[in-house]
Amino acid sequence: MLNPAQIAAMLDHSMLQPYLTDYEIARGCDIALEYHTASVCARPADMPTVVKRLDGSGINACTVIGFPHGSVQPDVKLYEARRALDDGASELDMVINIGRMRAGDEAYVHDEIAAICEAAHLQNAIVKVILENCYLTFDEIARACAICSDCGADFVKTSTGYGKYGAKLRDLMLMKRSIAPQVRIKAAGGIRTLDMALLCRFAGCARCGASATEDIMRKALRREAEGTLCDKTQAEFDAALAAETY
């Protein structure tokens, strides 16, 4: 039987909006602590606050690299990664160079991912590679997943949440087929409800990035009390997939 702790364990509580204050970051950490989410994903400058707030909780401090466009130079991304690790981050969500991927410059994309993975793994940190699927063709998504697998990325991630659209079930199915067995999937962008998180879970996601963590978890607790908290069925997934818009 599904329980709320299993839902919380797949949530990266996201706080990446540029206008958030220090107070709001601290409050977001408290939400993550209340439900014991997998991580708190916040802006690079917030890492010292997040790391201190989460100390001893077992919740990972996560930040973003090359966010949201992925178009800074590889050495700048590498500096961002190393600085984040020095600040205590244990998970890095990096954005690929989307234009280079679309242009077919796979060596460039491979090398910058590999460099971040090497730096992170030396400190036992997790790397999630953001593909920003809304700008890629199906073939480019599949190729990017293969590159991430070859580089040793821990996760492939659908979206920044700042593109044309976020996580789509169609894309999650493609990503699942295209990654190596040891690579996991993170859905992000538009994960605003418990039902969407459950659909992503059915599609094979190990993580979901969400700023609506409190609403999702309150709904999970309510359904648990009602005896209705359960995984999606194939029929429910198929219906949601058929209803998807872009």
Q: pLDDT tens digits, residue range 5-38? A: 999 999 999 999 999 999 999 999 999 999 999 9
Residue-wise DSSP of 107-120: HHHHHHHHHHHHHH
How crowded is residue 148: how many other Cβ atoms within 10 Å of its Cβ?
A: 29
Return the CATH number of the domain spanning residue range 4-243.
3.20.20.70
Handedness of CA 52, 3, 194, 178 (dihedral sign): positive
CA-CA-CA-CA torsion sign (78, 103, 126, 153)? negative
pLDDT of residue 1: 82
C-alpha torsion sign, points 99, 100, 103, 104: negative
- Supply the pLDDT for residue 195: 99
* pTM of the model as a whole: 0.97
Handedness of CA 47, 192, 165, 21 (dihedral sign): negative
At 25 the pLDDT is 98
CB 90 within 8 A of CB 127: no
What stretches in the chain show pLDDT beneath 70?
none
Question: What positions carry a catalytic annotation?
Answer: 93, 157, 186
Identify the pLDDT of residue 177: 98
Given a contact cutoff of 8 angstroms between Cβ atoms, the answer to whether 182 and 209 are in contact is: no
User: CA dist 19 to 23, 24, 43, 177, 196, Å?
Assistant: 11, 10, 11, 37, 26
